[in-house]
A = this chain, B = another copy of it.
């Protein structure tokens, strides 16, 4: 099976990419501000997890391969943008219009349970 060939993304790459906390932190950073360079993301990540530049770069590569992050070169910089299309696909996979109201109801029930117990 092809791992990455312009548009045809293995779903496994997407979920595996999301499975790491550092990568989710990067996505959060890009959600807050789009178009950040590796250096900028480096700083943000290093702020809470002691991680080298190489670690961040490696995570970004995983996110790129999963198409969760889109890159755009700008001179010697590489700007990163969050692509939320695959995330929407996750939602669509297990939640459809008919079950959506049930989900809302469940959320309320669970919140009640949380406030009472413990």
Measuring CB to CB, which residues of chain A are less than 8 angstroms from any residue of chain B? 5-8, 11-12, 15-16, 18-21, 24, 27-28, 31, 82-85, 87-88, 90-91, 93-95, 99, 103, 106-107, 110-111, 113-114, 117-118
Contacts and interface: CB of A to CB of B under 8 A. Distances in A.
Contacts of A24: 11, 15
Contacts of A84: 94-95, 99, 103, 106
A118 B82 CA distance: 24
Contact of A95 (B7, B88, B94): B88
B90 A94 contact: no
Count of identical protomers in the assembly:
2
Given A95-B84, A103-B85, A107-B85, A114 B7 contact: yes
28 contacts: A6-B114, A6-B117, A7-B114, A7-B117, A8-B114, A12-B21, A15-B15, A15-B18, A15-B19, A16-B19, A18-B19, A19-B19, A27-B94, A28-B93, A31-B94, A84-B94, A84-B95, A85-B106, A85-B107, A85-B110, A87-B91, A87-B95, A88-B91, A88-B95, A88-B107, A90-B90, A90-B91, A91-B91
A6 B87 contact: no
